[in-house]
Structure 1
Amino acid sequence: MTQTTQGTPRRAPAEPFRATLARFATAQKGAARSAPAYSRFVNRRLGRVLAAWAYRRGLTPNAVTGISALCTFSAIALLAGAAPSWPLGVAVSLLLVLGYAFDSADGQVARLTGTGSPAGEWLDHMVDATKIVTLPIALGVGLYRFEVVEHGWLLVPALHAIAGSVYFFGMILTEQMRRAAGVVSAAATGGRAPWLRSVLGIPTDYGTTCLVFLLLGAPTLFFVGYAAIVAATVAVALAAAVSWYGQLRRLAAAGGTE
């Protein structure tokens, strides 16, 4: 999830695409060493290619955010409106992957062009918050409409919507409260990557959610994979909530407040 911005388009310099891509590679901030594997090694690189493409066409970061939203919410609409099948799964997965990559690209364009703004960050977070809750809801609607699973299993996507929304809100709120206390979080980006932590993060990686829809043509297999993602999301959200609460209590104690 990246920061997007407002700003006027800038005409790309007359240079080969490869040269533009290289400038993005050297100008961007490093990815957190503990970031889940797909987000770090796949999505960020896809986003860099799309960012270079958007920059050369003079697109603003907010326009890139709009493309991301269009791809993502088209996939969400398909989930709610079409019967599960292999073609549907491929289409949904491809659109979600593109939406996620453009979500990375908007922040990269913003940083390279220096057009960051609070309004752009707000827009990016609003799109993220909306997709987090509407994706599992749309899945539940589609599963119900086409009677893919027993109705009791529809609690799984409902739980996903709750856990995902709470986790995202908690992450944003905790960061804002840390900043208010004068603490700015900064994930380590240098040195060797902790591969185990990146691999362990795969079940809760949004990229994994994008890819699991490739199994939509085999509903039972898909639901097993999807349920595992939801279980991991719930576990991480609970663990993060406990950790965040403890951190904020310690900050309060250090500042002499409760």
Structure 2
Amino acid sequence: MQLLGVDERALLHVAGGCCLCFLVVSTGLFDGVATEVGYGHYAEEVVPWLPAFVAMPFNCFINIGYILLGIFWLGRWSKTQGQKDVRKMYMKDVFALMAIVYGPVQWARLWTQSHRAAVLDQWFTLPIFAWVPVWCKSVLEAWRPATVLLMEGLSLASYSLCLLHSRGFEVALGCHVLGAFLIALRVQRQYGDATSRAYMGVTLMYCLGFIALKLLDHWLTQWLLFQRLTGHFWSKVCDVMQFHCAFLFLEHVEQRKLSRIQT
């Protein structure tokens, strides 16, 4: 079913997953997880006369990019291609809705500088990265909703590594990134061409940029380019772009698969 052009199941499933995460975090289960809280963790200087929700204006407003990206992709196929494949519309809409949700979650972390908002920011990252393997697997094999539920469930559960070690999140995220890259390679071998290879390479480039710029946020301020628009800001630009390029890669291989079936 479609609700205002959005797959209704996608909307319900993303909303349900968000509610589950909010509920679990509200219990205090992850209150002992190590997170970075406080303006001192960011190189961008706070503007004291601005309201708290835009105290770091550039780092805050870049999160609008996720929302605009999600809105763009929600309407992409319904407007330009008339896609009727339920599986493809569902996969695309879930990914787009994840982008729309992720922007405000990151903004809330910057605004409140609270531990629980930081936990949600970290936790939401994992199922977003996991959606790439989910979508790739649906391209390679028959679509099984139970497999989708299992993969996303394992992704959400992997955040519990944070309870075991202070670097648990980094380990979980690294496994997600590696898993997404390896299954994307399988899709590329089976359905890809030079265009999809370029999309995949650019996505990887933006992913590495996202990680490096975020880690080097303070160190980069020695250069004028990164003193106002800091490394953290540019890392979010890279994050939005890797989201977009992942969409382009998956859209292209979907089209390649369809053309093979039709011929």
Assess same fold via TM > 0.5.
Answer: no
Greater relative contact order, per chain length (Cα 8 Å cut-off, separation 6+): 1
The TM-score, its normalising length taken from structure 1, stands at 0.37
The TM-score, its normalising length taken from structure 2, stands at 0.36
